[in-house]
Chains A and B, each alone.
Chain A
Amino acid sequence: MSNLKVHWSPIHDDVFCTCSPNKILLYKVVHSTEKPTQKVPSMRQMSDTLWAVEQPKSIEMGMLKTVAWYPKPEPDNMLAIGLANGRVILNNFSGNSESDLIKKEFVPKHTRSCIYLNWNPVDSHLLAEGLEKYRNDSCINIWNIHHKPGNELGDRQRYSSSHSESSGAIHTPYVEIGGPSETTASFCWFKKEPRTFVTGMNTRYLRIYDLRDCTRPQNQTQTKMIRGASVDRQNEHRIATFNENHVSVWDVRNFDKPMLTFQEPKAVSMIRWCPTRKGYLGILSQDSLTVKIYDILHLPQTVGSEELDQYYSERTIKVLNSQIVSSFSWHPKQDSRLLTVTQQGLLRDLIVQEHIPFNWSVDSTLVTAHGKSMSITSFNKDNSIPQDIAVKMKERILQGYGLKSDIIWENVYAIKEEPELYGVWRWLSYAREMLEYNKQGQTFQRGMMGKHLGVKSILGLDVDDMATSHMTNMYWSSDFYRKLACVKQYHSAERSKALQLCGWGGDHHKPELLDTILHELQMDGKYAIAAAMALFNLQISKAIEILSTSKGQENTDLSTVAMAIAGYTEEKNTLWRKTCMSLLQKLEDPYLRAMFAFLTCDRENYEEILTEQGGMQLSDKVAFACIYLDNDKLKEYINRLTRKVIEAGNLDGLLITGLTPDGVSLISRFVDMTGDIQTAALLCVFSLPNEMSKDERVLNWIESYRELLDRWRLWHHRSKFDIIWRAGDNFRVISQAFVSCNFCGKSIACNMPVASRARPHNSYSAGTLTSTKPKISCCPGCRKPLPRCSLCLTHLGTPSGSALYTQKDKTTYSAKMTAIDDWFTWCQSCRHGGHASHLLEWFAEHSECPVTGCNCKCSTLDHTARLAAES
């Protein structure tokens, strides 16, 4: 089996044959879904999805040396078989001779082994045969297969007679090439000039012959690289040959020396140009496990004296693990498809992959190119892949995330599926509320005005200036049936503020506020949280009420807890305590656990609640700490928590830090982990004004987010974002574009105050619109008129942005604005223009400039208008 060869059929896409020295087998390729169900031994796997089915027909023959497949469809699957005695037999697999060519034999004058057979690709009746050296005979015979036996003269005569002499052998070749005792090693026809061929001869010549003049070679070069001559069908100037472990590529136009020579580690056994992919040269070395492919982009070129490099790259194609490749064949039609056979007879059908170029669009679609096809894959709504932040951010902004500046909490409606972001928006909206409240009251102290504060700054922890708080012994609400001992709580104005920020109402003098909050939580179905909050505010019967009235799936759990709490007793080592402990193990809700922890723990020590990891919101823990910890402990706890949230990049932590340097570090960590630049930028903008607004990182986030919106072409969204940003930052944007006068070159807007100063101010407010019109249609600097509208021929000019509109009575939004219809606009190319409304009317029906004699196609030059038209 070691000398196994493989050949694709030149006609059928799914047929190939394998040749061993005494047998030729025909195979048909089938897809694994179509393969015959019964297990036949004559079926072999070629690739993951393809199988080769051995056809029942085969050719068995001794002394088989070489095989060449007839390149025409008729007769079907005809092979020329060269034997060790030099005979050539035409045969097909069916054995029935519907064509007279089948079983035809061509016999050389002297018996010697056949080296190669090669059909002419165009004049397919010509078959070249290479023979071993003989004293007084030529080494290359070219047979005409239509020759009639005995009729040695009729070269081009078609054998049309109806009677067949299949046994009759032909002895005289059409042409003989090469003198006595010359040798030949390889042969290949050219296709573009089908009467010419290249052959390696006499171990040192590569010769090109033309059949029209066979006496001498048309071209020759002296080289040892004479084996395996192969013409590149994609570029017939190129010939590849090899000898031992060298492979050369020649250009027939410059035949003196090889253009390229590759050195292989081992002796080469075959080379083949890929017929479908330009520049692929497949090389098989002896005892090799792989097929090597050189991708020759171009032959070396010289520019001036310098040689251009980078003209080829090499690839190694692994075939099968630890199996020596015996032969390979390029598919004649399909791109870069390679069939290989190993010495053990295993087949492998491969595609030599091109380098796949690809690129991402900003919309998370990936374009890839495979050979001649291109494909687009979108990752927007692919459920098999976890949704990427890029897709998420785009979806959020389209839902209006970050565009609701009036009621900040509304922004979370766009991120319904991401509750982990709720906390920070809750802080922002409470902080904003507090800000508004302070503005009205103007009562808050110490430079905290106008800032979105964190708990830390409210408590004065960041400046180490903590206001004293007084300890109070609070009684449990009296409606509980049992009398309970007091609980220590701490109060101060700052702590109340902090509680307010945490959403706990804060003011213990206003219990109705707490009731509202509890009611809201119950409406949201958060019974456990509501109950816990009630309990921590010492309203034990309220808590029990909430738990027992709960509706929902886990309400059995909740009512059990309600009962348990109802039996609360302060005595230690009671049965109640023990039962609670065992119940505690079963509870999963962190708030229910916290309630028991609160009831059962020693007063003064609330570590269990404060360091809970399960799922209590940070705001609730902070609020709890603000009630029950004294100043030192609170300070220590808040500082510890700050470090923790920064490390974890937990956005909820902004509640504590606010937008301070700590807060920015926290957001930075969040961005590092999630890539969510959107939320980062929004937080920075919504918490304006703040001390960090000039921080490099903050500006970077904002700019990066704006750029992202621009790249998504969400320009309107970006503008809205800019408005929110600038409104918060008290930043005045200076004018960037001016309209200048044709005559004096000054801006027609910035001189307006001068013009208005020339006349007393009140004359405008008293005057009618007609009286101001002449003024706005000329340059305020030089008093020359502005250009005319090319359609209505009146002078242009609007009072927009000028001092003419400082009248006190026109304070409403719409009255302050000049109608956009009156604004002037012009084509950047031909400089003709007019009133916006007139131009819009004109270009609705025309594409050319309205000015007579101007051929400018103004409207087609407008890129954005073009895009709009496309949609």
Chain B
Amino acid sequence: VKSNWIKKSILVDSRTAVTDVKFAPKHLGLQLAICCSDGMVRIYECPDVMNISQWSLQHDIQTKFKCSCLSWNSSRMHPPMIAVGSDDNNPSGGGKCQVFEYNDSTRKWTKVETIVAVTDPVHDVAFAPNLGRSYHLLAIASKELKIISLTPLGRDSVIGNQSVVSRFEMKQVASFTDHESPVWRVSWNVTGTVLSSSGDDGCVRLWKANYLGRWKGISILKGDASQTRQDRNFSANPSQNPAGAVRYIQQAPVHNASHLVRH
């Protein structure tokens, strides 16, 4: 069935390049976070899901660094949380990843953590789907791949100012240099138990924790093995395959394809 996409709304507040856009987890309603290279993170909300041409700017957060990527935390149990990464090349700028949390009483996003362990440019961040765990896992793609765990420790009340800041116990649970080159992307599977990462070495690597919480590489997908090189020879002929056309190669059969359709 052919489907057409129709442009419903344009968000024009950004003055510099928008570097990442992410929808909020479902339980927060229809919200959208974007980050820009001038350090602004904006959060939009579409109050009426039946009319998605109406978006209102709800919050803007000044991160004070050049943002490159962001990720929502999907936990239902904890306040809304966003991690923002920066690809600023200057290592003296301190931690290149910040974590913000929405405070219900002040109705503001506040910075709760800066991950000081990461000073190299960050290309991607991803919160693992929380799925009932008591801690959060954050994967950071930088010069190396890092996995940080954030365990909420409850809240610190500041008397007088009424601001309440959540505190976390932060721990680096893994750091991998296997790509031997910058890591560009990270992504979690649906349960947050397998992490995939890709780097300049042309490989997608998969990582998984054992029952002791120790992370290990479990698989490497080489997209550019000899097999794909033959494809290249084939597609080199522009008359057969116009440049830019995407070719679909199914390397493994999709299992249970039929169950995708239930109604």
Name A's B-contacting residues (CB within 8 A): 13, 31, 49, 276, 306, 308-310, 315, 333-335, 337, 351, 353, 355-366, 368-381, 384-386, 388-390, 393, 398, 668, 671-675, 677, 680-681, 696-697, 700-701, 703-705, 707-708, 711, 713-716, 864-868, 870-871
Q: Is the CB of A680 within 8 A of B194?
A: no
CB of B192 closer than 8 Å to a CB of A? yes
Give the residue name and chain of the B residue nearest to A234 (CB): B243
CB of B159 closer than 8 Å to a CB of A? no
| Residues B17-36 near A (CB distance < 8 A) | 17, 19, 26-27
When distances are taken between beta carbons in the complex, the residues of chain B under 8 Å from A681 are 132
Of A333, A358, A371, the contact of B196 (CB 8 Å cutoff): A358
Q: A374-B249, A378-B254, A388-B208 are in contact. Are A308 and B16 (CB under 8 A)?
A: yes
Q: Is the CB of A368 within 8 A of B190?
A: no
Contact with A along B182-208 (1 / 0, CB 8 A): 001101111111101010111110101
| Residues B222-242 near A (CB distance < 8 A) | 223-224, 226, 228, 231-233, 235-236, 241
Q: A333-B236, A334-B232, A714-B262 are in contact. Are A673 and B211 (CB under 8 A)?
A: yes
Tell me the bound Cα distance from A703 to B27 in angstroms: 10
Tell me the bound Cα distance from A182 to B202 in angstroms: 47
Tell me the bound Cα distance from A704 to B213 in angstroms: 22
Tell me the bound Cα distance from A804 to B141 in angstroms: 64
Q: Is the CB of B255 within 8 A of A381?
A: yes
Known: A356-B203, A708-B131. 13 other contacts (CB 8 A): A370-B202, A373-B235, A375-B249, A375-B250, A376-B250, A377-B251, A379-B194, A380-B256, A390-B190, A675-B133, A677-B131, A704-B130, A713-B261
Of B133, B134, B233, B252, the contact of A377 (CB 8 Å cutoff): B252
Q: Is the CB of A716 within 8 A of B223?
A: no
Tell me the bound Cα distance from A357 to B134 in angstroms: 30
When distances are taken between beta carbons in the complex, the residues of chain B under 8 Å from A866 are 1
Q: A370-B202, A704-B130 are in contact. Are A388 and B194 (CB under 8 A)?
A: yes
Q: How large is the interface on B (under 10, 10 to 19, 20 to 34, 35 or more residues)?
A: 35 or more
Q: A362-B190, A388-B208, A864-B263 are in contact. Are A372 and B246 (CB under 8 A)?
A: yes
Q: Is the CB of B263 within 8 A of A672?
A: no
Of A49, A362, A388, the contact of B226 (CB 8 Å cutoff): A49
Q: Is the CB of A868 within 8 A of B131?
A: no
Give the residue name and chain of the A residue nearest to B255 (CB): A380
Contact with A along B124-159 (1 / 0, CB 8 A): 000000111111000000000000000000000000
CB of B76 closer than 8 Å to a CB of A? yes
Tell me the bound Cα distance from A71 to B90 in angstroms: 45
Q: Is the CB of B188 within 8 A of A356?
A: no
Interface SS of A by simple majority: mixed
Q: A356-B223, A697-B132 are in contact. Are A674 and B77 (CB under 8 A)?
A: no
> Min CB distance, A645 to chain B, in Å?
16
Residue pairs across A and B with Cβ atoms less than 8 A apart, 13 shown, are A13-B236, A306-B16, A308-B16, A363-B255, A363-B260, A368-B221, A374-B246, A375-B223, A375-B249, A375-B251, A388-B194, A707-B26, A711-B190
> Min CB distance, B69 to chain A, in Å?
12
CB of B110 closer than 8 Å to a CB of A? no
Tell me the bound Cα distance from A366 to B187 in angstroms: 10
Tell me the bound Cα distance from A6 to B112 in angstroms: 55
Q: Is the CB of A373 within 8 A of B191?
A: no
Q: Is the CB of B263 within 8 A of A388?
A: no
| Residues B67-90 near A (CB distance < 8 A) | 75-77
Of A389, A680, A870, the contact of B193 (CB 8 Å cutoff): A389
> Min CB distance, B72 to chain A, in Å?
14
Of B37, B193, B235, the contact of A390 (CB 8 Å cutoff): B193
Q: Is the CB of A386 within 8 A of B191?
A: no
Q: Is the CB of B37 within 8 A of A309?
A: yes
Q: A356-B198, A356-B223, A393-B191 are in contact. Are A372 and B245 (CB under 8 A)?
A: yes
CB of B57 closer than 8 Å to a CB of A? no
Q: A356-B185, A363-B256 are in contact. Are A368 and B236 (CB under 8 A)?
A: no
Q: Is the CB of A378 within 8 A of B255?
A: yes
> Min CB distance, B149 to chain A, in Å?
10
> Min CB distance, B247 to chain A, in Å?
5
Q: Is the CB of B132 within 8 A of A700?
A: yes
When distances are taken between beta carbons in the complex, the residues of chain B under 8 Å from A393 are 191
When distances are taken between beta carbons in the complex, the residues of chain B under 8 Å from A309 are 16-17, 37
Tell me the bound Cα distance from A310 to B198 in angstroms: 21
Tell me the bound Cα distance from A715 to B27 in angstroms: 18
Give the residue name and chain of the A residue nearest to B186 (CB): A358
Q: Which of B26, B75, B190, B226 has the most CB of A within 10 A?
A: B190
> Min CB distance, B90 to chain A, in Å?
15
> Min CB distance, B116 to chain A, in Å?
25
Q: Is the CB of A334 within 8 A of B263?
A: no
Give the residue name and chain of the A residue nearest to B241 (CB): A372
Tell me the bound Cα distance from A713 to B256 in angstroms: 12
When distances are taken between beta carbons in the complex, the residues of chain B under 8 Å from A388 are 189, 191, 193-194, 208
When distances are taken between beta carbons in the complex, the residues of chain A under 8 Å from B19 are 310
Q: Is the CB of B189 within 8 A of A360?
A: yes
CB of B218 closer than 8 Å to a CB of A? yes
Q: Is the CB of A672 within 8 A of B135?
A: yes
When distances are taken between beta carbons in the complex, the residues of chain A under 8 Å from B249 are 373-375
Q: Which of A31, A389, A680, A701 has the most CB of B within 10 A?
A: A389
> Min CB distance, B263 to chain A, in Å?
4
Q: A353-B200, A870-B261 are in contact. Are A310 and B131 (CB under 8 A)?
A: no
Tell me the bound Cα distance from A333 to B236 in angstroms: 6
Tell me the bound Cα distance from A604 to B192 in angstroms: 49
Give the residue name and chain of the B residue nearest to A714 (CB): B262
Q: Is the CB of B187 within 8 A of A386?
A: no
Tell me the bound Cα distance from A335 to B241 in angstroms: 13
Contact with A along B105-128 (1 / 0, CB 8 A): 000000000000000000000000
When distances are taken between beta carbons in the complex, the residues of chain A under 8 Å from B17 are 308-310
CB of B92 closer than 8 Å to a CB of A? no
When distances are taken between beta carbons in the complex, the residues of chain B under 8 Å from A389 are 191, 193
Tell me the bound Cα distance from A362 to B189 in angstroms: 7
Q: Is the CB of B223 within 8 A of A370?
A: yes
When distances are taken between beta carbons in the complex, the residues of chain A under 8 Å from B261 are 713, 867-868, 870-871
Q: Is the CB of B37 within 8 A of A310?
A: yes
When distances are taken between beta carbons in the complex, the residues of chain A under 8 Å from B211 are 673-674
> Min CB distance, B79 to chain A, in Å?
13
Q: Is the CB of A360 within 8 A of B253?
A: no
Give the residue name and chain of the B residue nearest to A355 (CB): B184
CB of B5 closer than 8 Å to a CB of A? no
Tell me the bound Cα distance from A707 to B231 in angstroms: 40
> Min CB distance, B131 to chain A, in Å?
5
Give the residue name and chain of the A residue nearest to B66 (CB): A309
Of B77, B192, B228, the contact of A700 (CB 8 Å cutoff): B77
When distances are taken between beta carbons in the complex, the residues of chain B under 8 Å from A359 are 187
Tell me the bound Cα distance from A356 to B224 in angstroms: 11
Tell me the bound Cα distance from A774 to B172 in angstroms: 71
Q: Is the CB of B132 within 8 A of A677?
A: yes
When distances are taken between beta carbons in the complex, the residues of chain A under 8 Å from B201 are 353
Tell me the bound Cα distance from A867 to B202 in angstroms: 36
When distances are taken between beta carbons in the complex, the residues of chain A under 8 Å from B194 are 360, 364, 379, 388, 390
Q: Which of A276, A668, A704 has the most CB of B within 10 A?
A: A704
Tell me the bound Cα distance from A681 to B76 in angstroms: 15
Q: Is the CB of A708 within 8 A of B228?
A: no
Q: Is the CB of B191 within 8 A of A677?
A: yes
> Min CB distance, A126 to chain B, in Å?
24
When distances are taken between beta carbons in the complex, the residues of chain A under 8 Å from B241 are 372
Q: Is the CB of B193 within 8 A of A377?
A: no
When distances are taken between beta carbons in the complex, the residues of chain A under 8 Å from B185 are 355-358
Tell me the bound Cα distance from A366 to B262 in angstroms: 22
Contact with A along B95-112 (1 / 0, CB 8 A): 000000000000000000
When distances are taken between beta carbons in the complex, the residues of chain B under 8 Å from A716 are 262
Tell me the bound Cα distance from A356 to B197 in angstroms: 9
Of A381, A675, A696, the contact of B191 (CB 8 Å cutoff): A675
CB of B160 closer than 8 Å to a CB of A? no
When distances are taken between beta carbons in the complex, the residues of chain B under 8 Å from A315 are 200
CB of B259 closer than 8 Å to a CB of A? yes
